[in-house]
Amino acid sequence: MIYMRAILAIFLLIGFAGSTFAQGTQIPFGGYEHNASLPVEVISDALEVDQETGNATFVGNVVIGQGEMRLNASKVVVEYKTGVNQTGGKISRMVASGGVILVNGPEAAEADEAVYSIDNAEITMSGNVILTQGNNALSSTQMVVDLNTGRAQMTGRVKTILQPEN
């Protein structure tokens, strides 16, 4: 009887792991809907402003906060909307690089780079992505987080490490 349970547990684990290693895995991220219209606070060691493009580059221990969400990186370029109907000061997107860490609620993710599209309320993390959720960890090449729904999509050789409960 114990032997049969062990075999059943192995088959269930293999079945679950097989689906986890699929090219696209959807997971919850942050546990709640994020309000992308909240003010964005940026703290850094230095700021450079490009007068031609209007872009602002924050360098050194950059911390970005919006509501409960926090993003840390070595460098963040803030790109502003341009065009005939655009007024100054509207952020289009933020591009973070260098040891990017994103914390939203109880989850945390690390990557080489992240792009936060303000209008879409979407963050695309790429390069050595690692997501931790409690004692479990997932890794992939890319993760796209939809802040409107609190869901993330991981693609590119997704690997999961599940910790059994004691």
DSSP 42-105: EE-SEEEE-TTT--EEEEEEEEEEETTEEEEEEEEEEEEP-STTPPTT-EEEEEEEEEEEEEET
Residue 49 neighbours by CB distance under 10 Å: 10
Tokens of 70: 């926090």
Q: ∠ CA 13-16-21 to the nearest 5 degrees?
A: 120
**Which pLDDT score, from 0 to 100, does residue 34 have?**
67
The superfamily in CATH containing domain 24-161 is: Lipopolysaccharide (LPS) transport protein A like domain (2.60.450.10)
Residues 88-106: tens digit of each pLDDT: 568 889 999 999 999 987 8
**Which sequence spans correspond to the domains of the chain?**
24-161
Say which residue the tokens 């309000």 belong to.
Answer: 35
- pLDDT for 32 beyond 80: no
Residue 46 CB coordination number (10 Å): 11
Looking at the predicted structure, is the pLDDT value of residue 5 above 60?
no
Strands 107-117 and 56-66: unpaired
- Asked if pLDDT for residue 163 goes beyond 80, the answer is no
pLDDT of residue 76 exceeding 80, the answer is yes
Higher pLDDT, residue 125 or 166: 125
d(CA 148, CA 160): 25
pLDDT over threshold 60, residue 149: yes
The Cα–Cα gap between 159 and 166 comes to 22
Rg (CA), the chain: 19
Q: What's the pTM value of the predicted model, to 2 decimals?
A: 0.75
